[in-house]
Amino acid sequence: MAVRWQAVDPNSVGGLITRPTSTLCMGNVSYDFSDETVVVTGGSSGIGRAVALRFGKAGAAVVNADVRKKPKDVGEETSTHEVIRERGGEATFVETDVSDASAIETAVDAAREFGGVNVMVNNAGWFTRRPMLDVDEETFNRIHGVNTNGVFFGCKSAAQDMIRRGTEGCIVNTASISSTHAQAEQIPYDSTKGAIKMVTRGAALELADHGIRVNAVAPGHIATEFGSGAEQKEESVAADELAKPIPLDRPGYPDDIAGAVLYLACDDADYVTGELLYVDGGWQTF
C-alpha cells in the first residue's frame, strides 16, 4: 500500500462528476496498490464507483460487489469493472445484496481469484427522507438491513478471511456527517450512520491484535445520484438551501471521498484506526 507524491490530474476519474481544480491544493498524491485486492460494495455508481476506479488506477485488483452492474451516474453506460479492465487492470463484478450476510461472504470469497482481500470498502448504502411519524417498520428495517447490517457483516466477513489467510489488511466504511449530526426527517438514515461509527470503532478495537485497521469516511453533501441527484445537490448548495453553509463553498464530489479512502488504506495511515474522517468541506465545524 505504497504512496508517493507527484503531479497528477485530480479530475482524471472517468464516468463521474469530478471536483473542480482547486487552488488550495499544492500537490497531489499517487498511490500504488499493486498486488493487492480490494472489495468495494456499492461500486457501480457514485462514491463507490469513484473508489473502485481509483483503486484500479492504483494497480489493485478490484471486486465490485453491488446489486446492479450498470452505473446510475448520468451519461455512463460502462460497468465499473469493465472500465478498469479497459484501462489494463484486473476487476470483476459480483451481484451482492449487502443486507444478506451470505452474499457478502460470496463477494469476499470472489477476491480469492486475485489472491484474497487486502482492503474491504463497505460503501453500499440506501437513503430515505421522511418524517419520523411517517416511517413504517418495513422502511426502517430495510435501511438498517442495507446500511448497518451491510457494514457489520462486511467487516466480519473481510476480517475472518484476512485472519484465516494471515493477512494484515484494512477496512474502510462509508459513514456520514449523519453519524454525529442529526438532520431533519432523516432518523432512519441517521441512526444507521451512527451505528456505522460505532461498528467502526468497535471493530478497530477487536481486530487490532490481528493487525487489521478499521476506519470510516464521513462524507458531507456529495453531488451523486445517491439521494436527490447530482444536479439537484449542486443547485441546492448554490442556492444556499442547506440548513447551514459549507465553508469551502461547494458540494463534495465522489473523487473527494475516494482520495480519503485510499489514504486510510495506504501505509501512510498505518497508525490510524478507529477513526471517523470527515470529508465535508468543513460543514460539521459549524
Q: Is there a catalytic annotation at residue 189?
A: yes
Q: What's the rounded Cα separation, in Å, for the pair 144 and 178?
A: 14
Residues 6+ apart with CB under 8 A from 208: 273
Grid cell at residue 227:
439521494
Catalytic residue among 189, 253, 263, 278: 189
Degrees, nearest 5: CA angle 263-36-39: 75
Sign of CA dihedral 184, 189, 192, 198: negative
Cα–Cα–Cα angle for 187, 188, 194, rounded to 5 degrees: 80
Q: Give CA–CA dist 130/16, Å, rounded.
A: 28
Residues acting as catalytic residues: 189
